[in-house]
Each structure stands twice: as structure tokens, then as C-alpha cells.
């Protein structure tokens, strides 16, 4: 049985109010905001049977609107980077919002993370919906988005549907920052990450893909598992200053859920395993998080948490040779499904 508890709304400094609701199935619990589809808190049991919050968040609407880290939010219309903040299709050029190193990152400076979503209840979770008009941050077409968060046993399901009335690239991802030892812990560098993915995207210094590369014989091979600390050390002299790379899912068909891998925290015993139908997963070690204001007004630290972001591939709308289906056409339905399974290390 899933229990729902509405919380006092926050005033949105731009006008209106931001709804807040807690969902609890007895194993997992989460707080969801109508602002940005944000997961503000996610409570998960540890190896002592005690539930604790494992995602970073803020204490006010103003703090969420001030930060640029996309804490817990839905990133879109197009997650990750589009080179030159520009799209070209069928002889038309679309200029997008340029908000990061001459590129469009996570849909622009007024992306879905800053929008006010409509929120309602499901039997086992909540459904949020959003209308994004033609020209929103430069993207073509009117888009309708539906987002479901559902708690089933020890799983969080994230399902996103979208439609558009003009060809438009769509890629939406859940951008939570996980610290499985607890969101108040100052570092996630002791976490372990494992993945069977064999390929990743090599990028230029701005994070724009240049080619598909194999992880073999690179620090990015995760089949045997590695600590985030070791990845930070191995990549310290790279522009990313740690892991911030997109892995390609093997045997991707856009329908079936496939296992990406797992993140675990030996201290708390918590393990998060991700399954998704998306062609790529960006892993980001919060390498540049320092100074972002979190809960209780505390400044967050770099490497305090890790993001695992299922998505279409960065700049794929401009690079048709990359895997995936980044362009959504009228009459089609975009479908993102991811399952976040929480259990304990044996």
C-alpha cells in the first residue's frame, strides 16, 4: 500500500505555488515537487534497517531556482549537450538557448527543471504533466510531456512519455545526485561503480562527442567495478576532472529494460542498480558541484554525490551516425522507462 502525504506548498518567487508531496510504500519513500519534476528526497533503508535520504536537494524554491546543477530535476527538452546551440533539419536551422560553453545544455537556461508541472496521484506514485510551446528555448514544435514516478517494492520506476506536432529532438532524464551513505555526507568517493558497458563517447573539451570508443584499456572500464575515488585520480588531468562520460547501452532496442550497472556504498551497504530502455547513460561525479547551496543552507562539495542519467546521446540530433532515436516525429510517442532498484550488499 502506498501512502500519500501532501506538504505545505512553497511560494514560487516568480508567482504561484509549488506543490510538494511525500509518497511512501513502506520500503522506499520520496518527496516530489511540482517544480521541475524534482525528487527532493528519497529515503532508502541501509544495512541497519534504517531509512535515510540518499539524494541532494534544497530547502526553498529560491534555492532551487538559483542553483544550476539541476538537483533532482528532469532535464529537457534535450538532456546533455547540443553543439553550438543549433539544430539543422530538412533545410531549416533552429537556434537554441546558448547556456554552456556556446552549447545548449539540458534544454537551456529555462529548461524543464525550472518549469511548473501539474501534479496528480496514481495508485502507486504520482503523475506530472507539462506543456512546452513551440519555440521554447528555441526548440521546434509544441510538446506534451507526461512523467510518472512509481514506488513498487524496492524499486523506483521513472517513466516519461512525450509527443510533438513538429520534428523535434527529445531526450529527458532524471538528474538526481546520489550519495548512498546519506545526503548529508561530504563525499561519495568511497562509492563503487560497476557496469558491463563496453563503449563510451569520446568528446572534445566541451563534452561534444567525437567518436564511439571502447572502454577496454582505459580508466573507464567498469566491468570489475571501481571506486569513484580511483576514477577521479585517473581522470584528474582531463577537462572533466573526474568521471563525466556517456556510456552506450549494449543491445539497445528502445523497448526492453537492460541493466546498466550498479553503484554501491560499502559503509551503508546500500546498492542502486539501474535498468533502462535508453541508449546511453551519462555518469557524472559532481566534479563541479562545489558552492551550490543545498539543504540547511549548506554549500555542497564537489564529488559529494554521483548522477546516473539515462538518455539519448549528447549532440545526437546533429550526429545521425550515433545510436538512438533523438528526433521525435509528429504521430510518434517518446518513451523513456528506467528502474532504480535499491537493495543491500551481501
Can you tell me the distance from the alpha carbon of 132 to that of 112, in angstroms, rounded to the nearest whole number?
A: 9
Q: Out of 70, 106, 175, 336, which one is annotated catalytic?
A: 175
DSSP codes of every residue in 106-149: TT-TT-GGGSB-EEEE-SSEEEEEEEE-TTGGG--S-EEEEEEE
Q: Which residue is associated with the grid cell 540547511? A: 296
Can you tell me the distance from the alpha carbon of 165 to that of 327, in angstroms, rounded to the nearest whole number?
A: 12
Tell me the C-alpha to C-alpha distance, in Å, between residue 327 and each of 4, 150, 167, 229: 36, 27, 7, 36
Query: Has 175 been annotated as catalytic?
Result: yes
Q: Out of 19, 185, 309, 336, which one is annotated catalytic?
A: 309
User: Could you tell me what percentage of the chain is helix, strand and coil, using 3-state DSSP and rounding each to the nearest 5?
Assistant: 10, 45, 45
Q: Which residues, listed in sequence order, are joined to residue 333 by a DSSP beta bridge?
A: none
Looking from the CA of 14 toward its CB, the CA atoms found within 13 Å total: 12
Query: Has 309 been annotated as catalytic?
Result: yes
DSSP codes of every residue in 36-92: TT-EEEEEEE-TTS-EEE-B---SSHHHHHH--S-TTEEE-SB-SEEGGGEEEETTE
By annotation, the residues acting in catalysis are 175, 309
Amino acid at each position: 500500500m502506498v501512502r500519500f502525504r501532501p506538504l505545505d506548498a512553497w511560494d514560487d518567487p516568480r508567482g504561484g505555488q509549488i506543490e510538494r508531496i511525500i509518497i511512501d510504500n513502506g520500503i522506499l519513500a520520496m518527496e516530489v515537487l511540482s517544480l521541475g519534476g524534482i525528487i527532493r528526497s528519497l529515503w532508502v533503508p541501509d544495512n541497519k534497517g534504517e531509512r535515510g535520504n540518499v539524494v541532494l536537494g534544497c530547502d526553498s524554491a529560491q534555492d532551487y531556482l538559483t542553483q544550476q546543477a539541476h538537483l533532482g530535476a528532469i532535464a529537457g527538452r534535450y538532456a546533455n549537450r547540443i553543439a553550438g546551440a543549433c539544430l539543422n533539419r530538412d533545410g531549416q536551422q533552429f537556434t537554441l538557448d546558448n547556456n554552456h560553453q556556446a552549447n545548449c545544455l539540458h534544454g537551456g537556461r529555462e529548461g524543464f527543471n525550472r518549469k511548473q508541472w501539474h501534479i496528480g496521484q496514481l495508485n502507486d506514485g504520482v503523475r506530472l504533466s507539462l506543456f512546452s510551446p513551440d519555440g521554447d528555448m528555441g526548440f521546434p514544435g509544441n510538446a506534451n510531456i507526461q512523467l510518472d514516478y512509481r514506488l513498487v517494492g524496492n524499486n523506483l520506476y521513472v517513466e516519461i512519455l512525450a509527443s510533438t506536432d513538429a520534428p523535434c529532438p527529445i531526450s529527458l532524464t532524471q538528474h538526481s545526485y546520489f550519495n548512498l551513505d546519506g545526503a548529508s555526507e561530504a563525499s561519495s568517493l568511497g562509492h563503487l561503480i560497476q557496469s558491463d558497458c563496453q563503449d563510451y563517447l569520446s568528446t572534445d573539451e566541451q563534452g561534444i562527442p567525437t567518436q564511439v570508443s571502447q572502454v577496454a584499456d582505459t580508466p573507464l572500464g567498469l566491468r570489475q567495478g571501481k571506486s569513484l575515488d580511483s576514477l577521479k585520480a585517473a581522470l584528474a588531468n582531463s577537462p572533466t576532472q573526474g568521471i563525466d562520460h556517456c556510456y552506450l547501452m549494449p543491445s539497445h532496442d528502445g523497448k526492453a529494460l537492460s541493466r546498466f550497472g550498479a553503484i554501491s556504498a560499502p559503509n551503508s551497504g546500500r546498492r542502486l542498480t539501474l535498468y533502462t530502455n535508453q541508449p546511453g547513460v551519462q555518469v557524472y561525479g559532481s566534479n563541479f558541484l562545489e558552492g551550490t547551496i543545498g539543504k540547511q543552507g549548506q554549500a555542497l562539495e564537489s564529488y559529494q554525490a554521483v548522477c546516473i542519467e539515462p538518455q539519448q546521446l549528447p549532440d545526437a540530433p546533429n550526429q545521425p551516425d550515433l545510436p538512438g532515436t533523438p528526433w521525435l516525429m509528429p504521430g510518434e510517442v517518446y518513451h523513456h522507462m528506467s528502474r532504480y532498484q535499491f537493495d543491500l550488499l551481501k
